[in-house]
Amino acid sequence: MRITTQAKQQTRQRLLKTGARLFRKRGFAATTTREIAEAAGIANGTLFNYFPTKESLALTLFAEALAGAEGDFVSRNGGGSVEEDLYAFIMAGLHRLESYRQYAGDVLATVMSPFARAGACPEAEEMRRTHLESVLEILQAHHIIEATAGDRDLFVQLHLYWTIYLGVIAFWSRDESPDHTDTLVVLDQSLRLLLGSLPTPSPDSSSQHEEVSRD
């Protein structure tokens, strides 16, 4: 029997929804792909046609949420300092990830760990790439990183950002303070640390943008 694109899409959505529900209910580690498939009403093997691992299923949930965050950021920001823009961009993502917070840390610890094998999880690679592209855009708009920056400089600077970003996500995923207030402070401190280590905008560009706070 031939399966239509629409039916495939529906199955994929059902798997994502079921996965999210079970992860939330039972925890990420305790949920198996078999249970997800059963609960979604499909054969276990069929699930792998859509998601090779449960991590990739979870990351797909995250990636879709973060795609929405990009829209939130663009519609509500602009004109602020680089620090404000990065802060708003990251917070928009955390808001979109809120419903996955309970297990986001477990998933990311597995696939986003600095020790994770490169290429082991294509969804993670894609999420990282998409996120860093947006960050690069913000940094370039504020002339923190010039479009002409060499590959090595770019790599180091973005790697530094990514490491700090993962630290913030890790903190947020375990933050028990009311309304995650501690995360607001940690993100602020982390961005100050990051921006303090990045190059100062050239005098020409700084006249068009607010100076980066380095205190």
Partner 1 sequence: MTDAPTTYPTPADALAALPAGLDEEIRSEAQQSLAQILEELTHRPIPVGRINRFWALGSLQARLALGYFAWWLRKGFISADASEAALNEQHLRAALRMLSTMGYMRGVVMKMGQALAQIPNLLPEQFLDVAGHLYFDAPPMHYSMLREHVRNELGADPTDVFDDFEPQAFAAASLGQVHRARLKGSGHPVAVKIQYPNIARTIQEDIRNLIALMFPMRLSNDWENLKVQMTDVAEMLDYESDYLREAENQEHARSLFTPEDGVVVPRVYEDLSTRRVLTMDYLDGLHLNAYRRTNPSQANCDRHGANIFKSSLRTWYAGRMTYADPHPGNYLFLPDGRLGLLDFGCCRRFTIEEWEYLKRVEEVFDKDDEALRLVLAESTDLPVERVETDRDRFDLLVKYTNWIWEPMRAHGVFDFGTDSYLERGMALYGEVVRKRYTRSKPVNTWISRCFIGLRVLAYHLKSRFDVGALYLEERKAGYAE
Does the protein bind partner 1 through residue 126 (CB under 8 A)?
Answer: no
By rule CB under 8 A, what count of residues binds partner 1? 26
Q: Residue 144 is encoded by which pair of tokens?
A: 């923190």
Q: Can you tell me which residue has the tokens 């597995």?
A: 110
User: Is 209 a residue that touches partner 1 (CB under 8 A)?
Assistant: no
Interaction of residue 181 with partner 1, rule CB under 8 A: yes
Backbone CA torsion sign across 20, 21, 22, 27: positive
**How many other CB atoms sit within 10 Å of the CB of residue 161?**
23
Using rule CB under 8 A, residue 172 touches partner 1? no
CA atoms of 76 and 69, how far apart (whole Å) = 11
Q: How many helices (H) and strands (E) does the chain have?
A: 10, 0
Q: Which stretch binds partner 1 (CB under 8 A): 45-53, 61-69, 107-115, 182-190?
A: 182-190
Residue 112 interacts with partner 1 (CB under 8 A): yes or no: no
Instruction: Considering the complex, state which of residue 58 and residue 94 has its C-beta at the smaller distance from partner 1.
Output: 94
Note whether 85 and 136 are within 8 A (CB).
no
CA 33 to CA 193: how far, in whole Å?
A: 40
The distance of closest approach from Cβ of residue 189 to partner 1 in the complex, given in angstroms and rounded to an integer, is: 5
Q: Could you say which of 80, 101, 130, 162 contacts partner 1 (CB under 8 A)?
A: 80
Stretch that binds partner 1, among 1-9, 29-37, 48-56, 84-92 (CB under 8 A): 84-92
Q: How far apart are CA 203 and CA 189, in angstroms?
A: 25
74 is an interface residue for partner 1 by CB under 8 A: no
| Closest CA relative to residue 97, chosen from 67, 65, 72 | 65
Residue with tokens 């999880």: 121
Binding-site member from 20, 88, 138, 154 for partner 1 (CB under 8 A): 88
Binds partner 1 by CB under 8 A, chosen from 35, 70, 72, 182? 182
Binding site for partner 1 (CB under 8 A): 77, 80-81, 83-85, 87-88, 91, 171, 177-179, 181-182, 184-190, 192-193, 213, 215
